Amino acid sequence: MSINLPPVTDLLAQLAAQMLPRITPHTVLVGIHTGGVWAAEVLHAALGLATPLASIDVSLHRDDYHLGNGLKAGGRASHLPDNVEGAHLILVDDVLYTGRTIRAALNEIFDYGRPGSVELAVLVDRGGRELPISANYCPHSLSLPASQSLDLKRGADGQLSFSLSEK
């Protein structure tokens, strides 16, 4: 099973170009584990940000946590700035689907304080939204059936690529 997607390196370059006009010296990139962190690492370097890269694990804020799904991500610690009050945050994720991961990420962020703004950057929007969430920055959109999953993978050589599978 294959899908016609541009190379991840091209998507990351396009995403960085889209984001650049809104970047300030105080912008904080927040990668969502796991694929969003990988993308955020590349974007952080490409954008030359001086602020430390942040990361969050949304496991405990998932709305299906009671079904055991919140524990699938591994329970990593979130690493956010000590003070997010008034900060300009850009959440980074690999694929935007239902919007539920982003809702969980917002809940996690607000546990740390009240940012001045939160924007969303994703590599691919695959449609299928269940919540009213959209990306501010997105270089590629496509439509996939609910029976398929699009996942960002990191190879042994560190290269990022997408894989498509049946659920």
Task: Locate all alpha helices (DSSP H) within 73-124, ordered by sequence.
Answer: 100-110
pLDDT band per the 50, 70, 90 thresholds, residue 54: very high
- pLDDT, position 60: 78
Lowest mean pLDDT among 60-64, 82-86, 153-157: 60-64
**Does 109 score more than 90 pLDDT?**
yes
**Domains along the chain?**
8-166 (3.40.50.2020)
Q: Is the peptide bond before 34 cis (omega within 30 degrees of 0)?
A: yes
pTM passes above 0.75: yes
Q: What token pair was written down for 117?
A: 């703004």
Contact 102, 89 (CB under 8 A): no
Q: What is the torsional sign of CA 156, 160, 162, 166?
A: positive
Q: What is the torsional sign of CA 20, 23, 24, 29?
A: negative
**Does 75 score more than 70 pLDDT?**
no
**Does 116 score more than 60 pLDDT?**
yes
| Short-list 120, 29, 32, CA closest to 78 | 32
